[in-house]
Amino acid sequence: MTISKVLIANRGEIACRILRACREAGLATVAIYAQNDTGTIFTELADEAFLLEGDSIASTYLDQSQILEIARISGADAIHPGFGFLSERADFAQAVIDAGIQWVGPSPEAISKMGDKMTARITMRDAGVPVIPGEEIEETEEQAALMAIEQASHRVGYPLLLKASSGGGGKGMRSVDDPSQLESAALGARREAIAAFGDGRVYVERLLTGSKHVEIQVLADRHGRTIHLAERECSVQRRHQKVFEEAPCATMTEEIREAMGQAAVAAAEAVKYEGAGTVEFLLAPNGEFFFLEMNTRIQVEHPVTEMITGVDIVREQLRIAAGEPMSCPELSIRGHAIEVRLYAEDAQNNFLPAIGPLSIFKAPEGPGIRLDTGVRQGDEVTPNYDPMLAKLIVWAPNRTEALEKMRRALDEFVVLGCTTNIRFLRELCDQQEVIEGTTDTTTIDRIWPNGWTPSVTEQQKQSALVVAATAESLGLGKTKLQVSAEQNGPVSPFQIISRRFP
């Protein structure tokens, strides 16, 4: 089955990424967007954009029947789910297939096997990969679930981690150090899981401290080829969400890469995997590794793998979905890539999400720099969606130079009007553990146990005050931004016609 027109069932940054790949592949594109995404970049990158009716995420980006109806009306013959939203929903993948549309991703069976953490663990154990002690809580009724979690905690042991069974992205996740915190953590995890995924089931797992989070990118096509594209390290996390990712892992050895890669390929083959997927591991300081989970979709941090392997993973997804063999050659790794996630959040205040207008949004440029974003200057950051604004990715011939490039790029990055974590990321690059590559999943909490504050000098602050006072005295505050807000109406065509272009 060939494909000619792809509907992207997603928004923001990843929708832009996929839309551009489709354009490059000569495929027509359909975007879907909620009212509050009107006018954002991804709606403009698509050949056609359809407004979703509804004012909640559940009634828009998660509304399967509405999305399928748009696919039917627009004549899309493939659906790419991106990440988050419906990307790991086996029932949606099945509904897409039933509608005679090509699903860009693995089979519904593979999604449910890997999406169900218990089945995934059993599958991995059978494939000979060690797994972390943990238990699935099947109870859905709150009181019963709380009791089951309490009982499981004795078998799993502390410290432990509660995760949303159908989760990802740190949502519905809580670490619990001792039994006294268990109940409130369990309630919180369930609440977030229900809100984010419509499924309150949680998974209880031992928390392995001092380990690195290392994951293997896999690709599989219908022609019997399953390969891995080496590893990414994503240890640096805050609130269980990745902020700094790199490839390759600084402490990786050829032996561990080989073993991990083989385990990941075995995992993919065990569920007859198709498309792009990621097998996540915890890598202990002694070189032992444990299976964490498999993400049956494209991942946020996929660009670092693309930079060091030269493989366009999204393009390969499209190729594989069209039934073609993947085009990647034998794995070869070149140089080093780092990605940081730019969040609209207050790093000084426990990384609380921030909102506001992007009154200035100036991204860094130059060789070896890639920016994947779904926003631009003038956009409003709202509390409606994930606060990730952009992914800044750098590539350099080696890790030291990649870090140097990242520092330079972050210094150039100017975002005003909304609080971001840019400065936090910049100072992260100066930390000894980051420089040495010895980060683990507790790095941020260990470096800044009482929270982070920027290291700003009095002289810098004084200069900034001079700028503020000068700008005020010159009347720079009467910006175009406020004017444009009043001129929301349609522009008269005559206004454009009479305009003189240089």
In this complex, which beta carbon is closest to another protein, that of residue 197 or of residue 351? 351
Strand arrangement, sheet containing 102-103: 48-52, 28-34, 5-8, 78-80, 102-103
Strand partners, 66: none
Residue among 72, 362, 376, 446 that touches another protein (CB under 8 A): 362
d(CA 487, CA 469): 29
Give the footprint of another protein on residues 299-358 (CB under 8 A).
Answer: 356-357
Q: Is 138 in the site for another protein (CB under 8 A)?
A: no
In this complex, which beta carbon is closest to another protein, that of residue 478 or of residue 499? 478
How far apart are CB 460 and another protein at their closest, in Å?
5
Q: Which of 55, 64, 48, 59 is nearest to 9 (CA)?
A: 64
d(CA 13, CA 11): 7
Residue 305 sits at the vertex; the CA angle it makes with 301 and 306, to the nearest 5 degrees, is 105
In this complex, which beta carbon is closest to another protein, that of residue 59 or of residue 463? 463
In this complex, which beta carbon is closest to another protein, that of residue 334 or of residue 480? 480
Tell me the number of residues near another protein by CB under 8 A: 36
How far apart are CB 403 and another protein at their closest, in Å?
15
Residues 6+ apart with CB under 8 A from 143: none
Site string for another protein, 457-476 (x = CB under 8 A): ---xx-xxxxxxxxxxxx-x
Q: Which of 206, 207, 204 is nearest to 145 (CA)?
A: 204
How far apart are CB 390 and another protein at their closest, in Å?
15
Catalytic residues, which ones?
A: 297
CB 277 within 8 A of CB 270: no
In this complex, which beta carbon is closest to another protein, that of residue 144 or of residue 476? 476
Beta-carbon neighbour count of residue 23 at 10 Å? 14
How far apart are CB 54 and another protein at their closest, in Å?
30
d(CA 385, CA 255): 41
Residue 164 sits at the vertex; the CA angle it makes with 52 and 259, to the nearest 5 degrees, is 110
How far apart are CB 377 and another protein at their closest, in Å?
10
CB 256 within 8 A of CB 285: no
Q: Is 376 in the site for another protein (CB under 8 A)?
A: no
In this complex, which beta carbon is closest to another protein, that of residue 283 or of residue 394? 394
Give the footprint of another protein on residues 399-458 (CB under 8 A).
Answer: 410-411, 414-417, 419-420, 422-423, 426, 454, 456
Residue among 359, 384, 438, 442 that touches another protein (CB under 8 A): 359
How far apart are CB 415 and another protein at their closest, in Å?
7
Q: Is 485 in the site for another protein (CB under 8 A)?
A: no
Query: φ, ψ for residue 450 (rounded to 5)?
Result: -105, 25
In this complex, which beta carbon is closest to another protein, that of residue 75 or of residue 477? 477
Query: φ, ψ for residue 107 (rounded to 5)?
Result: -65, 155
How far apart are CB 244 and another protein at their closest, in Å?
17
Q: Is 497 in the site for another protein (CB under 8 A)?
A: no
d(CA 499, CA 492): 11
Contact residues toward another protein (CB under 8 A) are: 356-357, 359-360, 362, 410-411, 414-417, 419-420, 422-423, 426, 454, 456, 460-461, 463-474, 476-477, 479, 481
